[in-house]
Amino acid sequence: MTIEQVIQWSSDYLSTNSQSEVVQNTPWSYVARFVTAEGYIYLKHTPKLLGLEAQIIQIFHEQFHASVPIIIASNAELNCFLMKDAGTSLRAILKQKFAEDLLCKAIDQFTSLQLAVAERINVFLEIGVPDWRIEKFPELYKEMITQKDLLMADGLTGEEINKLAVLAPQVSSLCNKLSDYTIKPSFVQPDFNDNNTLVDDQLQTFTMIDLGEIAISHPFFSLLNMLLQIKKHHGLTEEDDAYQRIRNVCLQNFKSKGNSSDALMDVNKLFPIYGALAGYRLINACGKSKFTGEFQRHGKPGLQLREFMAVFNC
């Protein structure tokens, strides 16, 4: 299949001859926008191994009544779908004027959905969403570090790979500790941030987008990403009162046997491993050769494994 075939299918379905505008073109997704009488319609195409997004969105919509894009058509053979416009990115709004309350409302909606999904994760596992629950992390980690040829091709040295092997008991220990908090696994949106949250200006509703790469794992992985993106794009530091309030909102819906803040710190130690797993998933789906130039970092999960070693001063 080619992008031209995907665009032709979209044009035929929409009965339009208007030119599409490319919104995003990365190894893992192609997004284009059509102007129609009913407003903007977005086309998304992904590699086959990331082709679950339309199903994922429908499950969120039909079984959890979540605020997700409205799909008007999908084509499993071409790995693409069409969806209605859902508003403006929250980041664009916050760049004009930072509104802590707006961001907190979006985070609260997201974590509430994570709690709902935590009671029914099998609906996602059954369609092939990766199972990266914390109890599976030690084996996933061991499997990853045994692929020495791939790791060395990614820039790691033999000495570094040996250090990673030595850290395997630390991974198991952290995972056992996290299990004691009794925070249930749920969906993790690997790039949960204010740019992947859309706001309808009139209804003031939030729509979660970019769901094709979700996994079932510890829900705090998504929240850590949001906190990192807030620091990066809005100039907040961990010492700022606003940052601390936002961090508290991330945690407030989760009940645990221990301190949720401590759990967040422990999950943060495993965050590089999650990033490496997500990176290898992208490489397997897209092909290593696609990760050049501006996408080069996405094709180097070894960088995350080096970050994990740094956690333990290795």
Sequence-ordered list of residues with C-beta below 8 angstroms from that of 314, at least 6 positions apart, any chain: 163, 166, 167
Please check the confidence at residue 202 and state whether its pLDDT lies above 80.
no
Q: Mean pLDDT across the chain, nearest whole number?
A: 95
Say whether both 51 and 160 belong to one domain: no
The parent domain of residue 13 ranges over 3-84
Token representation of residue 222: 């998504």
pLDDT at position 38? 87
- At 125-148, the pLDDT tens digits run 999 999 999 999 999 999 999 999
Same domain, 78 and 132: no
Instruction: Please tell me whether residues 96 and 39 are part of one structural domain.
Output: no
165 and 65 both lie in a single domain: no
Percent over 70 (pLDDT), the chain: 99
Q: How many domains does the chain have?
A: 2
Q: Which of 67, 84, 101 is the last residue of a domain?
A: 84
Same-domain check for residues 234 and 124: yes
Residues 111, 209: one domain? Answer: yes
pLDDT of res. 299: 83
Residue where a domain terminates, one of 60, 84, 108: 84
Report percent pLDDT > 90 for the chain. 89
Are both 76 and 116 inside the same structural domain? no
Cα separation of the two ends of the chain: 45
Mode of pairing for the β-strands spanning 39-45 and 71-75: unpaired
Q: Are residues 217 and 201 in the same domain?
A: yes
Q: Are residues 161 and 237 in the same domain?
A: yes
- CB distance 238 to 248 below 8 Å: no
24 shares its domain with 118: no
Q: What is the mean pLDDT of residues 245-269?
A: 95
Collapsing DSSP to helix, strand or coil, 290 comes out as helix
Average pLDDT over residues 90-105: 96
Res. 203 pLDDT band, cuts 50 70 90: low
CATH code assigned at 62:
3.30.200.20
**pLDDT tier at 52, thresholds 50, 70, 90:** very high
How many contiguous H segments (helices) and E segments (strands) does the chain have?
Answer: 13, 10
Q: Does residue 162 share a domain with residue 259? A: yes
> Which residue did the predictor score with more confidence, 154 or 233?
233
